[in-house]
Amino acid sequence: MSTARALADDGSGLASFRRNTWWGLAGTVACVLGFAVGDWVLDPDVDAGARALTGLATVVTVLSCGVLIARRVRDEPPSAAWLVAAGCAAVVAGAVPLAVGNFGLWSIAPAAALSVLVMFLPARRAWQVLGVALVLLPAVGLLTARATGEPHVGHATWMPALMVVAFGPAMLGMLRAWQVASRLDDARRLAGELAVADERLRFAADLHDIQGHHLQVIALKSELAARLSEADPARAADQMREVQQLAGDALRETRALVQGYRRTTLDAEIANASKVLAAAGVDVHADVDPALAASLPQAPRSLLGLVVREATTNVLRHSRATRAAIVLLPDDAGARLVIDNDGARAGWPGDDPAGPDETGSPGETRNPGTTGSPGDGTGLASLAERLAAVGGRLSWSSDDDRFVVTATVSG
């Protein structure tokens, strides 16, 4: 499955754009052919056989073009059967009116079907085919008009050209808009994944810098102690005591690194979240009172920083948000942190049950934000427990496409 189709089928905002694109393209073909051919097919002065054949061919043209457009916007290859159906039906829907002398109607179905068929060609080749059609269809109308003695050959010439100009650029232009939107959404998602990967690499580099030296020295001293264990047990014991000290130092420095990574300042987390989300194409609004943040005790402030980090990670991994807001404002108890984005949807694979809403009752939708397990210090559920332990509260709720995380702490 292609990237465009995967994104379109995942329930994101891109799916709505895909549907709108299909309705716009297929609706254009159906409405133009319906209004133009319908009056003629219902005209009792026209031969009944010609009307029936033209009407049937027009219906087949509309249906086959709709199917082909659906496959195109999903980046699926065209079906040979539907290609043949669209081409043959359009030829019949054009040839019958042309044969009975309707030079204004005959070119509509062929021009519409041709504009759909060229959507499966590379852009340059598609425009070349339309250029050929811009010459060929008027020539067919002109030659047929002269052969049948039609006095008004101008109408037989400019009407086919007008249909090609009207259908071709409109169809290719709408398709191009869909393709650009699909690629931009893919790029935005990739930027978010890269931002998360960069953060992981930064932590991995810090951990390597701390552990690399200690582990190398521990390995060398352990090897030396093993060699000395029989020849000089006293020196071997000294070496093992040094190994024990080095292991303790490594453990303390690793804990300090992890605590620094998980308990970074609230201001730094908000600044980093704004930068990462902006890099992922999300319009971020941050409204934080520095004095209010500084006035909070260390433990609640660190936990709020973790809430910002977790909410940001969830937006990057699990949503298709285009806008987000991070607001820290005074609360009766101390401070309230609200993180809002417009990328929510229900039914994420692997979701935990919904968290409590603002009133403390179970939420109505599944929560895309709980990524951790209880006790590991990550995920909204675990953070809610940790905030409750210091007198705070964490809740999250979803309303249509909005997902809101709210944390309150005591000052």
What pairing do the DSSP bridges indicate for beta strands 402-410 and 334-341?
Answer: antiparallel
Q: What angle do CA 59, 61, 67 make, to 5 degrees?
A: 105
Q: Indicate the fold that domain 192-262 takes in CATH.
A: 1.20.5
Residue 405 pLDDT: 93
Residue 331: what are its φ and ψ, rounded to 5°? -135, 160
Burial of 361 (0-12, 13-18, 19+ CB in 10 A): exposed
Residue 85 pLDDT: 92
Residue 259 pLDDT: 64
Q: Which two tokens stand for residue 257?
A: 């690194």
Domain coordinates in residue numbering, the chain: 3-188, 192-262, 266-410
Residue 353 pLDDT: 36
Q: For residue 399, what is the DSSP state?
A: E
What SS3 state is found at 28? helix
Q: What angle do CA 168, 170, 173 make, to 5 degrees?
A: 105
CATH superfamily of 266-410: Histidine kinase-like ATPase, C-terminal domain (3.30.565.10)
**Which stretches of 247-341 are assigned E, i.e. beta strand?**
283-288, 323-330, 334-341
Q: Which two tokens stand for residue 352?
A: 């935990």
Question: Measured between alpha carbons, how far is 167 from 108 in angstroms, rounded to an integer?
Answer: 9
- Global model pTM greater than 0.85: no
Q: How many CB atoms lie within 10 A of CB 69?
A: 24
Residue 359 pLDDT: 35
368 contacts: CB under 8 Å, gap ≥ 6: 314, 318, 319, 344, 345, 348, 351, 403
Residue 359 near residue 406, CB atoms below 8 Å: no
CA dihedral 148, 149, 155, 159 (to 10 degrees): 10
pLDDT in tens, the chain (411 residues): 444 444 344 444 678 888 888 898 888 899 988 888 888 888 888 888 888 998 899 999 999 999 999 999 888 898 899 999 999 999 999 899 888 888 888 889 999 999 999 999 998 999 999 999 999 998 988 888 888 887 777 778 888 888 899 898 888 888 888 888 888 888 877 877 787 777 777 777 767 766 766 676 778 778 888 888 888 888 888 888 888 887 887 787 777 666 655 555 688 788 878 877 876 778 888 888 888 888 888 778 888 888 888 888 888 777 778 889 999 888 877 889 999 998 775 443 334 433 443 333 333 333 343 333 333 344 788 888 888 888 889 999 888 788 999 999 886
